[in-house]
Amino acid sequence: MLVLASRFDPTADLAVEELNRRAVPVFRADVAHFPVRLTLAARLTGDGWRGTLTSEHRTLCLEAVRSVYYRRPQRPQMGHGMSPEARKVAEREARLGFGGLLAALPCPWLSPPGKAADAEQKPLQLRVALDSGLDVPHTLITNDPEAAGEFADSVRGRLVYKPFHPVRGHVDGRTAAVYTSLVDPTDLPHPDIATTAHLFQEWVPKAFEVRLTAVGERVFAAEIHAGSDRGRIDWRSDYGSHTYRVCDPPAAVVTGVRRMLERLGLPYGAFDFVVTPEGKWVFLEVNPSGQYGFVEVATGLPITSAIVDYLEGAS
């Protein structure tokens, strides 16, 4: 089993521990280690690509790889002393050569990198969710301040702003992140909207939220009950305030989730839903490489086991 993940990844650690418990041979590497700490030698034969991937301590025969667990590895990192132009070329060659060779291995991936990258695009996943029969919030993507104002008028209620990709960094020496945030409709239109693309949605009233983790045909759902004001806007902003409870999603939601995975070409997805006070499930997003460890620890749901079953071809 080939595990491609960053060196410090507690979620990947869970899968590796389960593989070890099952006595499945594991070769773990980070794409960032190529080419400085990983050496590749592969030859195309009549049987496909044959060769080795060698780390500082171990060697993997490529033809022995039965499946690949792909958990957010870092980008290839070049050695020191390169000019910016040479580094740019070397990084591209590493991505297309090393990454392309791994993608050519004839085995299952969880999840295929190209499919996962496509599925991270929120406009695409919202459209696929709608096509798959799931309820989605009224949504606007725009860089037009006037269009934002018109959208606020049409919704006639509270709005939220969401970044298209997690925004994290440091401000004045402190860690900072941008989460889903409430928008005062009276602030729209706002001239700053013209600076880039913005995603606005209607605010969906919440009884609670659900993290639904799908692995192949299996689904695991847990209610998330936030215990703080900021957690009730975006639960990712305050993990410490939550309580969790296992739940059974409606059959129509399960069907929609499976349709989404099929249409996106994914074997795995971490889905987020709002459940309204009336019991309606509203799709927010799916993360094709989303963490699940915090749910498994809190609820005991056997998500790691399901992932390893899939990688071993048992589901």
Q: What is the mean pLDDT of the chain?
A: 91
CB 258 within 8 Å of CB 129: no
Query: Which of 202, 230, 257 is the C-terminal boundary of a domain?
Result: 202
Q: Residue 232 above 90 pLDDT?
A: no
b/e per residue 20-41 (b: at least 16 CB within 10 A): eeeeeebbbbbbebbbeebebe
Query: Which of 185, 202, 219 is the C-terminal boundary of a domain?
Result: 202
Mean pLDDT computed over 248-271: 97
Residue 25 phi/psi, 5-degree rounding, is: -60, 135
Residue 103 phi/psi, 5-degree rounding, is: -65, -25
Structurally, how many domains does the chain consist of? 3
- In which domain, by residue range, is 305 found? 117-135+204-311
Are 273 and 298 found together in one domain?
A: yes
The answer to whether residue 287 sits within a structural domain is yes
Structure-token pair, residue 33: 């280690």
Are 219 and 78 found together in one domain?
A: no
Query: Which of 202, 219, 238 is the C-terminal boundary of a domain?
Result: 202
The answer to whether residue 112 sits within a structural domain is no
Query: Per mean pLDDT, which range of 9-18, 77-86, 129-138 is the poorest?
Result: 77-86
Question: Can you tell me the distance from the alpha carbon of 64 to that of 48, in angstroms, rounded to the nearest whole number?
Answer: 12
Are 123 and 265 found together in one domain?
A: yes
CB 16 within 8 Å of CB 34: no
Q: Residue 26 above 60 pLDDT?
A: yes
Question: Can you tell me the distance from the alpha carbon of 46 to that of 280, in angstroms, rounded to the nearest whole number?
Answer: 54
Q: Residue 275 above 80 pLDDT?
A: yes
Question: Can you tell me the distance from the alpha carbon of 2 to that of 130, in angstroms, rounded to the nearest whole number?
Answer: 35
Question: Can you tell me the distance from the alpha carbon of 274 to that of 161, in angstroms, rounded to the nearest whole number?
Answer: 16
Q: Residue 174 above 90 pLDDT?
A: no
Mean pLDDT computed over 24-44: 94
